[in-house]
Amino acid sequence: MTLDLLQRGREVLAAQGFSALLGAQLQAFEPGRAELSLPVGPQLLQQHGFVHGGVLSYLADNALTYAGGSVLGTDVLTSEFKINYLRPATGEALHAVATVVGAGKTQAVCRCEVYAEADGERKLCAAAQGTIRKMS
């Protein structure tokens, strides 16, 4: 079941042109949890050499939606989300780990932590929370 869910999740990610452009990868997708990763390249940096906040926001948004979709089904959208930037993101990769806090029939509230990885060490750089809704 979990392997089928992961495969379906990867198919959905591959169909997202923006995600493909950035090089996002779905690392884990199971009931109540999702993890996305993204390699960091110079095209994702802002003028001070840190990963642009919009990239962190994209990753958190998508991870939140995957987590919600893991319990609601894959036809979901983000209704709202909030992000707190905790430290500048630097390193080779970003990882967003999202979990479901609570879910009903049509919506799920999820939280996400975004980590920057450098030299094999992950540091928390952003935290987000959002509401994911079924499309129909």
Alpha helices, H only, the chain: 2-14, 17-22, 53-72
Model confidence pLDDT, tens digit, residues 20-68: 999 999 999 999 999 999 999 999 999 999 999 999 999 999 999 999 9
Do residues 130 and 82 lie in contact, with contact meaning Cβ atoms separated by under 8 Å?
yes
Q: Give CA–CA dist 28/26, Å, rounded.
A: 6
Give the chain's length. 136
Model confidence pLDDT, tens digit, residues 107-130: 999 999 999 999 999 999 999 999
Do residues 40 and 66 lie in contact, with contact meaning Cβ atoms separated by under 8 Å?
no
> Structural domains in the chain?
2-134 (3.10.129.10)
